[in-house]
Amino acid sequence: MKQRHSRMPYKLLDLAISNHAKYVYMALMHFRSKTKKSIKVSLAKVAEVTGLKGRQLTNYINTLMQHNIIARRKNKHANGEYSCNVYTITCDETYFAEIPWEIAYDNTLSVNTKLGYCIMKRYTDLDKQDHACYMGKKELTEKIGCSTNEVDKIKRNLKLAGFIEYERNSNKITLIYEKALEKKINNEIKQVVRNKNEVSKYENHSTSL
């Protein structure tokens, strides 16, 4: 199965709203089909991903709507009864940070940890191939919106889970999971090319006969 990612727009990451509200958006991305703007899903399904229920979940969805991140409408059956809600992404998605599903929907990781990874990913220059970002504790505290002690916990949990690597008293954070993932994808692409070349050789040989 190919690796999947959820997109977190920079506009959303920069908003001064609860990280739980941002995570509700991430949960909606679980049900997104490719790059379609509309997502049809029941509130119960979103609740399963977030662990939130009732008014709390609804309040976070309303927060996203108030900041023009998503729009919502109720979907009706032919008999007039309501079914799943339809959420439409209304914010600018030009710039975004991708978070792997293995991190976004890992129930053992806290919401702050997942958003923290998004922040680290945002400030990583993937073109340099070293998959490293340079962020001090103070900057991470401001960007994630948490305490310095929470930043230590976030980094420690991501390291223990095998997603990042860092050294004490250093601002360098290496996204080792992304690095390994890129290598895996490149190897898969190479294998596909080899297979096509083998087929091509075989076809050419058959034609010459």
> Given a cut of 50, is residue 179 above it in pLDDT?
yes
Q: 72-105: per-residue pLDDT in tens?
A: 988 766 655 557 889 999 999 999 999 999 999 9
Q: Model pTM?
A: 0.82
Average pLDDT, the chain: 86
Number of other CB atoms surrounding residue 78 within 10 Å: 5
Helix 148-160 to helix 137-144 angle (10° resolution) is 100
- Stretch 24-28: mean pLDDT: 96
d(CA 190, CA 208): 27
**Buried/exposed 154-192: b ≥16 CB within 10 Å, e otherwise:** bbebbeebebbbbeeeeeebbbbbbbebeeeeeeeeeee
- What pLDDT score does 133 carry? 92
